Amino acid sequence: MIFRETKLAGAYIVEIEKQEDARGFFARTFCAVELRRHGVDFQVVQANISHNHRKGTLRGMHYQAPPAREPKFIRCIRGAVWDVIVDLRPGSATYLQHIGVELSADNGRAIYVPDMFAHGNQALADGAELLYLMGGPYSPDHALGLRHDDPAIGIEWPLPVSVIHEKDRGWSLLQVNSPRLE
């Protein structure tokens, strides 16, 4: 696995290293030992899959408030998505900054999303699927979100939004001069 640091400390894009021969290829897609070598102590406690019927579907921007932890290791297993994370860590030098990356079954990329990062994605193809390895269980009492189109964050999605859940459309806009999220 090849770890690529992002501008958001602790978040990584993870590429596969293909071992190819006449049969095809083999590649490691997850390794807790390699994550620890990069300073990430990640224990899988839950695995989830999301399927998007239509290109343009947008999910997010989701996170969990403390004390609930929800770091994620996410890989696209069918189709392609534009995946975005936003740093919500109080005191972080990159607070409210975001990155986006294309995850696809073809490119084999994954993203490691630390705790206290909002996460969302947009399907770039019909039938896009993601596999989520979760470092903490889902806690509905701590589930929160940011608006995908909040001007205070400025995410540029590659496609018009074709489908979005009412809950995701209804998150409040951030107040530019408000104190940091906690």
Average pLDDT over residues 163-175: 93
Active-site positions read 62, 132
CATH number assigned to the domain covering 43-169: 2.60.120.10
Residue 177 has pLDDT above 80, yes or no: no
For residue 64, the number of C-alpha atoms closer than 13 Å in the C-beta half-sphere is 19
CA-to-CA separations, 29 to 24, 75, 77, 142, in angstroms, rounded: 16, 9, 11, 29
167 vs 175, residue with greater confidence: 167
Confirm if 56 and 161 have CB atoms less than 8 A apart.
Answer: yes
Residue 181 has pLDDT above 90, yes or no: no
Cα(42)–Cα(52) distance, integer angstroms: 27
Q: Which tens digits make up the pLDDT trace of 122-140?
A: 999 999 999 999 999 999 9
Prediction pTM value? 0.92
- Banded pLDDT at 166 (limits 50, 70, 90): very high
Spatial neighbors of 23 by CB under 8 A, at least 6 apart, are none
- Banded pLDDT at 70 (limits 50, 70, 90): very high
Cα(59)–Cα(161) distance, integer angstroms: 10
